């Protein structure tokens, strides 16, 4: 059984970050709602438990809670912020409204002889965000960190394996936070650190082989990172028993259809059956005259399902259907606990209704995005594919404002290619979160070679983001923007203006639709 730590979610905004940081310590980790049955927790036999932060006051009636039993399982527990306060309250300490609310980077003095703070500087910067505080630790606990305004910034009972931290070690603003989490999972919990991508890949291939046997598997390949990694994993496990259907909807970036075919097609390095469906014309005619972005998304999504189903019918019954679901999709779909459902899946369509299959395989279900990339590299997938930017399922269909036409697709593809080339030449391609060209629906007057023009304006977008839920526009050097502008105007017919979108998210979105 895989060594594992579990994170119990009390509705804090950083629950995924906690799990990611633990995995960075090479320890496998999963998130569960605070409502999870204690018997189920025992059954999982975790090496450690981490309680997350949360927006409530733990002493209020109806606030998310846990039983004392959780602390008596003989499994080390680390409480963070709300989790720390709850641990103290349940075990007989005192939590109340703090006289001074702490928010932001705060200097904390820690006791470096505590196992939790081994190797940490005696005074260190930590991220605080709390209205309540622990005014008195539970009996048997020693205070092991404090700040000017917070007498109990951390408390511990090493004999019981219980630790409570008021601040957030999972947030990067806590300078030595990863070290503290490492001390907990590797030191206190005694995890050996066996969560490594090479063993994930090896184990997955083995278990897929066992599960599938002689069966047949169907995979919808988009060319994005997740579906590509899933397809290669399957191909390594079962070779020609896998069929990948790649739908070219004519809304891909320039040359992308051919690039996907070069990697996964018959001349590529992988053993699998590859079917490319050239559905460009079909999509363009469905989209003719449609200007409303949501409607465009729906049409593109539904058409994908139809095309995929038609191909699946030709293949006949299969045993398994592959989905590229990753862990954040699972978490964001709701843990059944306090965490809000952040967004409904905005991947194209849903599951095809009429594909004849017995079961779904989700080989990446346990992985975070950066782990998917690591698995991709481990599998020998080319760098440019592994580090591909996020690309929306509905593709350029939602980067063209107003009606989508073949001509507009050509314009945005050409402009986008120039933009990407220049960003790469300037060495910025790995440092900007996401960047692309969009085509506005605005035409205006210009002058080129003494002639009047009346052409479109292209908008350039580039953002930096940690989680794609908020974003800031990226500061691209002006010379680079000017170079991109001049190449687009000169090389892309139909464009006479180039603009840079400065809007952050919120109030904008990352896409420009």
Residues noted as catalytic: 81, 168, 170
For ligand XMP, the closer CB: 76 or 376 = 376
**What token pair was written down for 447?**
């002058």
Cα(303)–Cα(461) distance, integer angstroms: 28
- Find all residues with CB under 8 Å of 18, minimum gap 6, and list them: 7, 29, 31, 50, 52, 80, 170, 181
Q: How many alpha carbons fall within 13 Å on the CB side of residue 138?
A: 17
Element (H, E) at 157: strand 154-157
Q: b or e along 165-181 (b: 16 or more beta carbons within 10 Å of the residue's beta carbon)? A: bbbbbbbeebebbbbbb
CA atoms within 13 A on the CB side of 404: 31
Asked if 213 and 238 count as a contact pair (C-beta separation under 8 A), the reply is no
Question: Can you tell me the distance from the alpha carbon of 79 to that of 87, in angstroms, rounded to the nearest whole number?
Answer: 7
Nearer to ligand XMP, 44 or 499 (CB): 499
Pair 273, 305: CB distance under 8 Å: no
Question: What is d(CA 218, CA 221) in angstroms, rounded to the nearest whole number?
Answer: 9
Q: In this complex, which beta carbon is closest to ligand XMP, that of residue 291 or of residue 509?
A: 509
CB nearer to ligand XMP: pick between 101 and 346:
346
CB of 16 to ligand XMP, least distance (A): 15
DSSP string, 260-299: HHHHHSTTSSS-SEEEEEE-HHHHHHHHTT---HHHHHHH
Nearer residue to ligand XMP within complex by CB, 488 or 510 = 510
Q: Where are any strands of DSSP class E within 211-329?
A: 217-221, 242-248, 273-278, 320-322
Task: Kindly state the greatest CA–CA separation across the chain.
Answer: 85
Complex with ligand XMP: residue 468 or 500, whichever CB lies closer: 468
C-beta separation of 264 from 231 below 8 A? yes
Q: How far is the CB of 347 from ligand XMP (least distance, A)?
A: 5
Dist. CA 325–CA 170, nearest whole Å: 24
Shortest reach from residue 506's CB to ligand XMP, in Å: 9
Which DSSP string corresponds to 99-116? EEEEEEEEEEEE-TTSGG
- Residue 384 CB neighbour total at 10 angstroms: 11
Sign of CA dihedral 211, 213, 218, 220: positive
Which residues here bind ligand XMP, judged by CB under 6 A?
A: 346-347, 390, 392-394, 434, 468, 505, 509-511
Q: Which residue has the tokens 């629906």?
A: 441
Please give the Cα distance from 169 to 272 (Å, whole number): 44
Smallest distance, ligand XMP to C-beta of residue 297, A: 6
Give 327's DSSP letter. Answer: H
Answer for the pair 504, 471: CB distance below 8 angstroms, yes or no.
Answer: yes
Through-space distance between the first and last CA atoms of the chain, rounded to whole angstroms: 47
How does DSSP classify residue 471?
B
Three-state secondary-structure class, residue 467:
coil
Q: Minimum Å distance from CB 112 to ligand XMP?
A: 41
């Amino acid at each position: 059984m895989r060594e594992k730590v579990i994170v119990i979610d009390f509705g804090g905004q950083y629950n995924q970050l906690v799990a990611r940081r633990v995995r960075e310590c090479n320890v496998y980790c999963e998130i569960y709602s605070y409502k999870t049955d204690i018997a189920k927790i025992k059954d999982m036999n975790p090496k450690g438990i981490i309680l997350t932060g949360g927006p409530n006051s733990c002493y209020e009636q109806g606030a998310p809670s846990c039983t004392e039993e959780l602390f008596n399982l003989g499994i080390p527990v680390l409480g963070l912020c709300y989790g720390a306060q709850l641990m103290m309250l349940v075990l007989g300490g005192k939590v109340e409204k703090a006289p001074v609310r702490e928010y932001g980077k705060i200097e904390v003095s820690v006791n470096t002889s505590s196992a939790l703070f081994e190797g940490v500087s005696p005074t260190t910067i930590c991220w605080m965000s709390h209205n309540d505080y622990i005014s008195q630790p539970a009996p048997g606990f020693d205070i092991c960190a404090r700040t000017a305004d917070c007498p109990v910034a951390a408390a511990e009972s090493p004999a019981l394996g219980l630790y409570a931290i008021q601040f957030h070690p999972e947030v990067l603003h806590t300078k030595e936070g990863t070290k503290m989490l490492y001390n907990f999972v590797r030191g206190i919990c005694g995890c050996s650190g066996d969560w490594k991508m090479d063993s994930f890949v090896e184990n997955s291939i083995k278990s897929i082989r066992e599960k599938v046997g002689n069966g047949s598997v169907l995979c919808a390949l988009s060319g994005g990172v997740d579906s590509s990694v899933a397809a290669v994993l399957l191909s390594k496990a079962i070779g020609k028993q896998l069929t990948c259907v790649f739908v070219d909807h004519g809304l891909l970036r320039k040359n992308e259809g051919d690039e996907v075919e070069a990697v996964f097609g018959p001349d590529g390095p992988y053993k699998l059956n590859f079917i490319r469906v050239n559905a460009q014309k079909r999509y363009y005619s469905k989209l003719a005259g449609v200007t409303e972005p949501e409607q465009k998304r729906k049409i593109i999504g539904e058409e994908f399902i139809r095309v995929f189903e038609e191909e699946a019918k030709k293949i006949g019954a299969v045993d398994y259907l592959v989905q590229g679901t990753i862990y954040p999709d699972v978490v964001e779909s709701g843990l059944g606990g306090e965490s809000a459902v952040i967004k409904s899946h905005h991947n194209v369509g849903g599951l095809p209704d009429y594909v004849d299959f017995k079961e779904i395989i989700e080989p990446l279900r346990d992985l975070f995005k950066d782990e998917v990339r690591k698995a991709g590299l481990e599998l020998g997938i080319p760098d440019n594919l592994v580090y591909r930017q996020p690309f929306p399922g509905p593709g350029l269909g939602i980067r063209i404002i107003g009606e989508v036409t073949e001509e507009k697709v050509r314009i945005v593809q050409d402009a986008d290619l120039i933009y990407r080339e220049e960003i790469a030449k300037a060495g910025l391609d790995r440092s900007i979160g996401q960047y692309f060209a969009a085509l506005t629906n605005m035409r205006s007057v210009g002058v080129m070679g003494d002639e009047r023009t009346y052409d479109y304006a292209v908008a350039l977008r580039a953002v930096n983001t940690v989680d794609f839920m908020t974003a800031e526009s990226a500061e691209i050097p002006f010379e680079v923007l000017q170079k991109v502008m001049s190449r687009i105007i000169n090389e892309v017919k139909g464009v006479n203006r180039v603009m840079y979108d400065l809007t952050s998210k919120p109030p904008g979105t990352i896409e420009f639709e």
